């Protein structure tokens, strides 16, 4: 497992600054989906109940702004939404903004009351992981107090890293209270109307399915960046320490930030986008880093402190020379020489250049074959998908010919998808590593190679998404570079047996525990006709024997068992069901588990050699040495190779 990052996404507040009145997009989008979506729905009153419920669930699942009274007020006005979808007006959206604004004022006032800060750290105060909140009947003042209490526990952990114990932390609490109060007050004030509008649109579209999405101008930029192998930005990233100081955590070698003298450990004092100052105090490190990446924008002025000296640099966004978003290859050298290719996403070649994932994997295979590898591992851990075409292209590198899957669409019915290219780039034994966040295109690749016994699938049950989405520009007046897009579900794919795994995920051949927060859903598509006869079986896979040996290794290894225990502890405490306590003891347990997983695995039977000289690859090697799935995957591969040579 790589670095374990504990993200409390419920601490990020939505907000109300942007004022826009154009709701024509929702009218156009709904009409388009009725004609083109795989499962169209009608615009009728019964749609409103599920839509409003989804809005509460998406925007404010904990009752953070919207307690029972506020929700009842909104439900009473829900017929306005039906009229808005038909007319393109914004009456319902405006009403939502008004209700939430009133709650913001109330919560801002609470932060100034001394009694608000009397926290209870007992086992009785528990966070509900299903609703991302606390007891639904709890008074809204108590709800807010629990959220701020969680913030104090996170500070407690950060201060613990500085060598202070709990008693010393409590002594510092009064001085920290003013700072925490200012942070939360700032979060309230920086919310945007855009977020309310986006969640409202998305709650309507969820009536079609959860993967149909609306993208505004900001979202379009992020989507294009995610599908590209290129990374653009200022050349550095930051984190926040327990005092909320913004500290440079990474500088990309050769970037303008590097050339102009920015170094790891420097403190960012102020930050300007053009002439507009970004209030660093109001943003967490993830939000700040979002300012630092992507294309476009004007120049940025960065004032920073380095070794007690103040300095200023002006930076522009540029294409960064980094492999973080691209395929990376390594040689695992032990009793067997195993190639390892990390595939972070299924990116494609864009018109302005760059590489595709299938091209990059083909090149990596060529390098590894020259090193006379005994087998090859593809790492799809955490890979949430991308281009389906690239997934099929990648599959064709490993199978010779024949059918790969079945596709069902509204327009064409059932289609058989065949390998477009005869021949293979790699003929030897192949393993694919997956976890609960391997989704969509990752699952398609694993499904195709698993069904034809071309690859041994190792890890945890995958996410469970096997629909395909089409992206179209929104509106009537479409330019060459549209500012708004609609992604909608147009097809679903099945394996050769006629089954799909939508909502349930792919169960690997060999199970190895991994940390994941995904929640399994119900299967939503029926079986279709099997064409199983049109397939090839490439390798014999003795799954039961390999699984038995893997379990024996865990039983006989204190180190592997401790890591498995830590993964289970985190998955239970931070998983999507149940509750956990806002107590010092509970947070100590969480962070002790993280500490275990951040240690290098000593019982590793291989060394790792870089196939590409890159500073980022060097950092990734340190993560791979702590990756339980990769370490046990290598052990399983050794057992499999022994079996194949018997």
Q: Give residue-wise pLDDT tens across range 63-101.
A: 667 777 788 889 999 999 999 999 999 899 999 888 888
pLDDT given for residue 9 in this prediction: 27
pLDDT tens across 314-370, in order?
988 887 765 445 788 999 999 999 999 999 889 887 644 567 899 999 999 999 999
Whether 114 and 33 share a structural domain: yes
Using the 3D structure, point to which of 290, 319, 348 is the last residue of a domain. 319
pLDDT for 191 beyond 90: no
pLDDT tens across 548-560, in order?
999 999 999 888 8
HSE of 259, CA atoms in CB hemisphere, 13 A: 9
Q: Give residue for tokens 């801002």.
A: 108
Cα gap 143→96, rounded to integer Å: 20
CATH code for position 491: 3.90.226.10
- Say if 219 falls within a structural domain: no
pLDDT for 10 beyond 60: no
- Say if 60 falls within a structural domain: yes
User: 391 near 352, Cβ under 8 Å?
Assistant: no
pLDDT tens across 381-423, in order?
989 888 889 999 999 999 988 889 999 998 888 999 988 777 8
Whether 397 and 525 share a structural domain: yes
Whether 175 and 241 share a structural domain: no
**Cα dist from 345 to 158, 259, 430, 593, whole Å:** 32, 29, 19, 28
Give percent of the chain with pLDDT exceeding 90.
28
Cα gap 284→186, rounded to integer Å: 11
pLDDT given for residue 4 in this prediction: 33
The whole-number average pLDDT for the span 162-180 is 65
Give the DSSP per-residue string, 582-644.
-SHHHHHHHHHHHHHHTSPPTT---EEEESS--HHHHHHHHHHTT-HHHHHHHHHHHHHHHHH
The tokens for 299 are 């120049």
pLDDT given for residue 511 in this prediction: 94
H or E, element range at 451:
helix 441-451
- Say if 122 falls within a structural domain: yes
**Cα dist from 299 to 25, 235, 314, whole Å:** 32, 13, 7
- Say if 588 falls within a structural domain: no
Q: Give residue for tokens 């008004």.
A: 98
Whether 291 and 166 share a structural domain: no
CATH code for position 248: 2.30.42.10
CA-CA-CA-CA torsion sign (505, 346, 327, 397): positive
pLDDT for 463 beyond 80: yes
Residues of the domain holding 437? 328-539
- Say if 548 falls within a structural domain: no
Q: How far is CA 561 from the centre of its chain?
A: 27
Whether 310 and 278 share a structural domain: yes
Whether 159 and 42 share a structural domain: yes
Whether 425 and 334 share a structural domain: yes
Bigger pLDDT: 230 vs 113: 113
Backbone torsions φ then ψ of 644, nearest 5 degrees: -65, -25
Cα gap 385→211, rounded to integer Å: 13
Whether 353 and 398 share a structural domain: yes
Q: Give residue for tokens 């993280």.
A: 594
Whether 165 and 184 share a structural domain: yes
pLDDT given for residue 615 in this prediction: 47
Whether 312 and 371 share a structural domain: no
**Cα dist from 523 to 158, 175, 221, 502, whole Å:** 41, 52, 32, 6
- Say if 615 falls within a structural domain: no
pLDDT given for residue 591 in this prediction: 77
- Say if 112 falls within a structural domain: yes
Q: Give residue for tokens 């109060």.
A: 181
- Say if 20 falls within a structural domain: yes
Whether 367 and 422 share a structural domain: yes
Q: How far is CA 527 from the centre of its chain?
A: 30
Cα gap 140→106, rounded to integer Å: 10
- Between strands 309-315 and 318-319, the pairing is unpaired
Name 94's Cβ contacts closer than 8 Å, sequence gap at least 6: none
What is the C-alpha R_g of the chain? 26
* Long-range Cβ contacts of 610-616 (<8 Å, 24+ apart): 610/330, 611/328, 611/329, 611/330, 611/331, 611/364, 611/367, 611/368, 612/323, 612/328, 612/329, 614/322, 614/323, 614/328, 615/252, 615/253, 616/252, 616/322, 616/323, 616/324, 616/328
Residue 400, helix vs strand vs coil: coil
pLDDT tens across 441-462, in order?
999 999 999 999 999 999 999 9
Cα gap 182→179, rounded to integer Å: 5
| Tally of domains within the chain | 3
Using the 3D structure, point to which of 251, 284, 319 is the last residue of a domain. 319
Cα gap 199→197, rounded to integer Å: 6
pLDDT for 379 beyond 70: yes
Whether 55 and 159 share a structural domain: yes
HSE of 153, CA atoms in CB hemisphere, 13 A: 27
Using the 3D structure, point to which of 208, 224, 247 is the last residue of a domain. 208
């Amino acid at each position: 497992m790589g670095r374990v990052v504990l993200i409390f996404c419920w601490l990020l507040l939505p907000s109300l600054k942007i004022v826009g009145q154009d709701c024509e997009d929702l009218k156009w989008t709904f009409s388009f989906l009725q004609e083109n979506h795989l499962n169209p729905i009608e615009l009728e009153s019964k749609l409103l109940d599920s839509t409003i419920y989804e809005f509460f669930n998406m925007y404010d699942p904990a009752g953070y702004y919207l307690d029972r009274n506020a929700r009842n007020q909104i439900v009473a006005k829900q017929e306005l939404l039906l009229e808005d979808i038909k007319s393109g007006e914004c009456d319902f959206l405006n009403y939502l903004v008004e209700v939430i604004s009133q709650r913001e004022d109330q919560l801002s006032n609470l932060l100034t009351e001394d009694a608000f800060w009397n926290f209870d750290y007992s086992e009785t105060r528990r966070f509900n992981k299903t609703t991302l909140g606390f007891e639904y009947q709890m008074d809204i003042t108590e709800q807010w107090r629990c959220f701020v209490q969680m913030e104090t526990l996170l500070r407690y952990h950060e201060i613990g890293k500085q060598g202070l114990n709990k008693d010393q932390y409590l002594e510092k609490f009064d001085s920290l209270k003013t700072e925490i109060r200012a942070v939360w007050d700032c979060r309230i004030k920086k919310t945007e109307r855009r977020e309310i509008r986006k969640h409202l649109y998305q709650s309507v579209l969820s009536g079609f399915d959860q993967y149909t999405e609306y993208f505004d101008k900001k979202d379009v930029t992020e989507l294009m960046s995610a599908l590209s192998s290129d990374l653009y930005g200022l050349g550095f990233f930051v984190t926040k320490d327990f005092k909320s100081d913004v500290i440079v955590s990474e500088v990309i070698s050769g970037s303008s930030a590097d050339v102009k003298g920015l170094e790891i450990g420097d403190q960012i004092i102020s930050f300007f986008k053009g002439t507009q100052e970004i209030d660093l105090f109001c943003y967490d490190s993830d939000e700040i880093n979002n300012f630092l990446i992507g294309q476009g924008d004007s120049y940025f002025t960065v004032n920073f402190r380095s070794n007690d000296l103040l300095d200023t640099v002006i930076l522009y966004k540029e294409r960064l020379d980094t492999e973080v978003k691209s395929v990376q290859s390594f040689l695992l050298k032990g009793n067997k020489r195993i190639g390892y290719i990390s595939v972070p996403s299924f990116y494609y070649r864009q018109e302005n250049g760059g590489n595709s994932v299938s091209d990059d994997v083909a090149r990596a295979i060529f390098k590894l074959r020259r090193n006379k590898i005994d087998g090859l591992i593809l790492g799809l851990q955490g890979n949430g998908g991308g281009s389906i075409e690239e997934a099929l292209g990648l599959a064709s590198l490993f199978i010779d010919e024949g059918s790969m899957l079945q596709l069902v669409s509204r327009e064409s019915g059932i289609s058989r998808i065949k390998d477009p290219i005869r021949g293979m780039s790699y003929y030897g034994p192949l393993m694919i590593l997956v976890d609960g966040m391997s989704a969509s295109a990752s699952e398609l690749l694993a499904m195709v190679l698993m069904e034809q016994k071309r690859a041994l699938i190792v890890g945890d049950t995958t996410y469970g998404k096997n629909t395909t989405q089409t992206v179209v520009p929104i509106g009537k007046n479409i330019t060459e570079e549209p500012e708004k897009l609609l992604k909608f579900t147009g097809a679903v794919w099945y394996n050769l047996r006629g089954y799909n795994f939508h909502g349930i995920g792919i169960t690997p051949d060999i199970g190895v525990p991994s940390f994941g927060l995904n929640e399994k859903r119900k299967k939503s598509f029926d079986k279709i006709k099997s064409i199983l006869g049109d397939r090839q079986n490439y390798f014999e896979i003795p799954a039961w024997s390999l699984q038995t040996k893997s379990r024996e290794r865990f039983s006989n290894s204190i180190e592997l068992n401790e890591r498995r225990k830590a993964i289970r502890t985190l998955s239970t405490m931070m998983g999507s069901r149940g509750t956990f306590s806002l107590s010092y003891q509970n947070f100590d347990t969480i962070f002790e588990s993280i500490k275990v997983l951040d240690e290098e695995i000593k019982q590793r039977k291989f060394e790792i050699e870089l196939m590409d000289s890159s500073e980022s690859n060097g950092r990734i090697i340190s993560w791979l040495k702590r990756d339980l799935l990769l370490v046990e995957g290598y052990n399983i591969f050794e057992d499999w190779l022994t079996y194949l040579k018997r």
